[in-house]
Structure 1
């Protein structure tokens, strides 16, 4: 005899007893009648006793079958209860979700909406990791990440949420002193403040409405690994920089910064929600990704 009991056989036997029919049990369990019959026969051989006296018209329990009804019914009930509990737990969002996001965007757009999510799902815990560096989701065990880029092909599952506009910006004081560039080539004569995590930080690329492309190698007194750190130098009139809408938007709106070269723009990028491949995903991950998609998709500046 194997070490594990024939739980399937006991559960099928209990269902046959409950419905008083092999055919009815097969229908309810979505099994063939032959499968139900074989399961009962297997159980009888294992126990060394007949459980039913079967005729074409009547199905009656033997003494051995009668003694097995209560424990087999208990096995069936406990199995159904365990499965229902597991299904309920997987359906109700609970547990830890690890989310990565760029530093500035995480502070400006993600952190402010998380209280709403946590109120909706009080049994979910969010571990928010903020860094402008590209995170290895699989290697570092993250459930999802927000990325602002023109994403290359990869094995990750990516969902585009919204475009992110970028501008070449400078303070009015700088533009009054150094002049206003109208073509990417003019930037070679300007102080350019750099961001280390641009796709090509040593080369600024631009395109116009006609599809023409231009590029320059920027030079200037400051380079940072977080774009927010450029704002004081920009507003103080120290140079020009390529800045995204979610960082420079307020300063552009109130006049502290101005956009230049309206006919040229950096290559388009977008906000993406990325996840490791595979599935299905836990309910807690589905809940957070659905919330972020709904909250961040239409948010533009």
Structure 2
């Protein structure tokens, strides 16, 4: 007889407290259930059930076997469900946390394409610049820019972006142009207010050494687009990703502040909870993003 069916018959008898109810639960005859359990006991060479005219209960060995058998049956059921889900069209609510700048500048304009391609999926996008706790805060996935700090999560790179010091020509006319990293301490700096490092920039020097620039910031705000607007207006120097400043630089509204500095490259990642199984809706969205941004970055936007 089939080993898994024997396990199921035995576990169902324990769950239901008898052969009659177990047979009803499994949709087979009482005698068939009894044969499965007897075959299992014979194969194992152990009595798993105490049988009386009034009740059926597991033996001590039966209790131990039941615990393991139930795990196996649950895993088998989950495996069947996964196969079914993976063959069906992705559906359900996709709740994701997205870095604000990337979400507003690049993701929002292409969401209509995804929703049209996958009409059974609805998207709940929350724009946040902090790293959310995916599982405890109820998110299916997150889009993050920069280094991956939590190694317990799974991550797939979507594309890359560079990060540069940028400022408007009018700023240089009014305040001069810094020639090296140390000169930045004498200039008006535009900062993110929600960076974990506060008003500290980590900038690679020509030697490859990573230098830290600390400044109070003439303007501090929690939105990259606002910082870009301030830089275009000539208010100061901002340190921004290329997907934000690309168009402004192409139009000559801002320039690279210190062109000799090496470019800093940041990854843009789709991050999701660990596990061997990725939800179809999550997989569908990540595949969409990878394909949609295949020809983008690190400087081409």
TM-score, structure 1 normalization: 0.71
Residues 182, 262 of structure 1: 8 Å contact kept: no
Aligned residue in 1 for 2:235: 238
Does structure 1 conserve the Cα–Cα contact (< 8 Å) formed by 2:160 and 2:267? yes
CA distance in 1, matches of 2:94, 2:248: 34
Give, in whole Å, the separation in 2 of the partners of 1:12 and 1:102: 58
The answer to whether 1:105 aligns with 2:102 is: yes
Instruction: Write out aligned runs for 1:79-90 (5 A).
Output: 87=84
**Which residue of structure 2 lines up, in the alignment, with residue 140 of structure 1?**
137
Please name the residue that 1:5 is paired with.
22
* Equivalent residue, structure 2, for 1:165: 162
Q: Which blocks of at least 5 consecutive residues in structure 1 are unaligned?
A: 14-37, 43-82
Deviations 1:85-136, CA, capped at 9 Å, x for gaps? x926862211111111111211121111111111111111111111222221
| 1:1-301 map, 5 Å | 1-2=18-19, 4-6=21-23, 38-39=35-36, 87=84, 91-198=88-195, 200-265=197-262, 267-300=264-297, 301=301
CA distance in 1, matches of 2:214, 2:284: 44
Contact 2:228–2:238 (CA<8 Å) still a contact in 1?
no
Q: Structure 1: which 4+ aligned runs deviate by more than 3 Å?
A: 6-13, 265-268
Q: Distance in 2 between matches of 1:274 and 1:242?
A: 24
CA offset digits 1:216-261 (Å, max 9, x no partner): 2123321011111112321111111101111111111101111111
CA distance in 1, matches of 2:161, 2:196: 14
State the 1:152 CA deviation: 2.1
1:127-172 alpha-carbon deviations (Å, 9 max, x no partner): 1111222221111111111000111242111112222111101111
Deviations 1:195-217 (A, max 9, x none): 12345232212113531332221
Distance 1:88 1:274 in 2: 21
What's the secondary structure of 1:273's corresponding residue? strand
Query: Does the CA-based 8 Å contact 1:206-1:266 persist in structure 2?
Result: no
8 Å CA contact retained: 1:204, 1:266: no
Structure 2: which 5+ runs fail to align?
A: 1-17, 40-79
The CA deviation at 1:3 is 6.2
The superposition leaves residues 47-66 of structure 1 with CA deviations (integer Å, 9 ceiling, x where unpaired) of xxxxxxxxxxxxxxxxxxxx
Distance 1:182 1:240 in 2: 13
- Identify the range of structure 1 (284-293 vs 134-143) with the bigger mean alpha-carbon deviation: 284-293
Name the CA distance, whole Å, in 1 between partners of 2:262 and 2:284. Answer: 36
Distance 1:149 1:199 in 2: 13
TM-score normalized with structure 2 length: 0.71
Asked which structure has the greater CA Rg, the reply is 1
Distance (Å, rounded) in 2 between the aligned partners of 1:112 and 1:9? 51
- Aligned residue pairs total 239
